[in-house]
């Protein structure tokens, strides 16, 4: 079943007297439960595509549909609620709340909706990110890799329909990278989540089920890796 569709989305910016097109008429269709790798060099439009899908930015032209609902024209307040409840996002720069503990950051999407965590998922997440001894610590007390693991846990904890990950393993060593992929694969399978992971590392993308390759704002290859 289709969960995500973009129709001719284009994103352009003004750069002085010129217009720079970052994404150019991108059309994708993604089904529920797919694990997608978005691959391409820096500046190719990967992160911009993720931002448009997640409602962090709006296309200059085109439409975005999630679960058959058009999302690119929602008001900011409706979009914020939509993101919190249905989309998990791992930012390239973590975006943890500095005044909250590790545990509070992880549970934040649930706390904002006054919900309790799925205990089985919570235990699974805690075991894999291996930060049980740091739950009362604050983000500034963590290494970059530890902050990254907290951000990934936060994105998964409320079992969103779609998880968007922008270079989620960039600051992790091989052991922790493998652990995170174990967690992503578990969550993807257990909750039939759709995952889109952006990376310039082809080794990482090759672990996904399907690859979208972007160059100069266009998808030049869409191939199954199963």
Report DSSP letters for the chain, one per residue. -EEEEEEEEEEEEEETTEEEEEEEEEEEEEETT-EEEEE--TTSSHHHHHHHHTTSS--SEEEEEETTEE-TTS-HHHHHHHHHHHEEEE-TT----TTS-HHHHHHHHHHTTT----HHHHHHHHHHHT-GGGTTS-GGGS-HHHHHHHHHHHHHTT--SEEEEESTTTT--HHHHHHHHHHHHHHHHHTT-EEEEEES-HHHHTTSSEEEEEETTEEEEEEE--
Alpha-carbon span 74 to 58, nearest angstrom = 10
List, in order of start, the domains of the chain with CATH numbers.
2-216 (3.40.50.300)
Do the Cβ atoms of 105 and 111 come closer than 8 Å? no
| Per-residue model confidence (pLDDT) at position 202 | 81
Nearest to 87 by CA among 97, 75, 96, 78: 78
| Per-residue model confidence (pLDDT) at position 70 | 95
| Per-residue model confidence (pLDDT) at position 175 | 85
Residues of the chain predicted below pLDDT 50: none
- Taking only the tens place, the pLDDT of each residue in 142-176 is 988 889 889 999 999 999 999 999 988 777 788 88
Q: Count CB-CB contacts under 10 A for residue 161.
A: 18
Nearest to 180 by CA among 107, 127, 126, 128: 128
């Amino acid at each position: 079943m289709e969960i995500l569709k973009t129709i001719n989305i284009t994103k352009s910016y003004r750069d002085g007297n010129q217009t720079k097109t970052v994404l150019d008429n991108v059309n994708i269709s993604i089904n529920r439960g797919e694990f997608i790798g978005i691959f391409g060099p820096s500046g190719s439009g990967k992160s911009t595509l993720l931002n448009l899908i997640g409602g962090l930015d709006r296309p200059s032209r085109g439409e975005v549909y999630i679960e058959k609902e058009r999302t690119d024209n929602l008001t900011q307040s409706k979009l914020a609620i939509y993101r919190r409840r249905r989309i998990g996002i791992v930012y390239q720069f973590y975006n943890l709340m500095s005044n909250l503990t590790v545990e509070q950051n992880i549970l934040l999407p649930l706390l904002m909706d006054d919900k309790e965590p799925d205990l089985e998922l919570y235990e699974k997440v805690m075991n894999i990110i291996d930060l049980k001894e740091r739950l009362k610590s604050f983000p500034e007390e963590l290494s970059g890799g530890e902050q990254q693991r907290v951000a990934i846990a936060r994105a998964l904890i409320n079992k969103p329909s779609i998880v968007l990950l922008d270079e989620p393993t960039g600051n992790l060593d091989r052991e922790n990278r493998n652990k995170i992929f174990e967690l992503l694969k578990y969550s993807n399978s257990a909750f039939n989540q759709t995952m889109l992971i952006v990376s310039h590392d082809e080794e990482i993308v090759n672990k996904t089920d399907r690859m979208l390759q972007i160059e100069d704002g266009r998808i030049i290859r869409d191939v199954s890796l199963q």
